[in-house]
Amino acid sequence: MHFDEAKGENRALRYARNQKSPFEDEQDGNAIVEPVIFEDGFLHVSRTNPVLQEFLHYHPMNGSKFVEVNTEKDAQKEMDVLNSRVDALIEARQLDIEQVEALARVLFNTDVSRTTSAELRRDILIFAEQEPAQFLNAVKDPTLKLNSLVQEFFSHKVLIFKNNKKDVYFNTPKNKKRMLNLPFGEDPYYVISSYLQTDEGVDILKFLEKNLENKR
């Protein structure tokens, strides 16, 4: 069945090689019905058989059980993927070491102090090639630097988690108090980054950065 938007009704489809329409209500009583057979997953429809073309076009399983081969469209998709991959690799190659470290912290949760620069650059290049869209989005994210900084606060234990990561505490010589409570199910680093961008969090960020400098 095919729902005809113009007529507002369901219309029965039937392929008959001796008819001029794939719709049963437009066919005469002498329809010669024959099966539509896909061989090895393919069906070639001649340009001289427009009825079968229409039948397949209107068929409700078009796009799910079968799709029309469109070499130009497929080639364009492949080109888009390849161009995105090239753009990501070029961007990755141009990153300075601080940007590479920031991305490694955010994307891989890596302790960059235990990894060589060459290893970090290699991992970023591989990621850029395999996940170009995600990589480019991460590079363009205006909060990348802050997110990386938050990761560094934890790697240098300026901040620590407590109570099964439900709470974030300061861990400086003069401050061991709780900084904030983490909402259930939320990304803790995202919550902390968002908090440090608030009016209240700006001064706390400066305090944390000062303590981080003393630990580097």
Extract the tokens encoding 87. Answer: 């753009």
199-204: Cβ within 8 A, 24+ apart: 204/179
In this prediction the pTM is 0.55
Q: What tokens does 29 get? A: 């009583």
Q: Where are the domains of the chain?
A: 1-69, 81-140, 148-215
CB 110 within 8 Å of CB 116: no
Residue of 136, 134, 147, 130 whose CA lies nearest to 92? 136
Instruction: Please list the pLDDT of the chain residue by residue as tens digits (216 residues).
Output: 998 888 899 999 999 989 999 999 999 989 999 899 999 999 999 889 999 999 999 999 998 899 888 888 889 989 999 999 999 999 999 999 989 999 998 899 888 888 999 999 999 999 999 999 999 999 988 888 898 899 899 989 999 999 998 999 999 998 999 999 999 888 898 899 999 999 999 999 999 999 999 877
Task: Provide CB contacts within 8 A for 206, sequence distance 6+.
Answer: none
Amino acid at 120: L
Cα 206 to Cα 201: distance, rounded to the nearest angstrom: 9
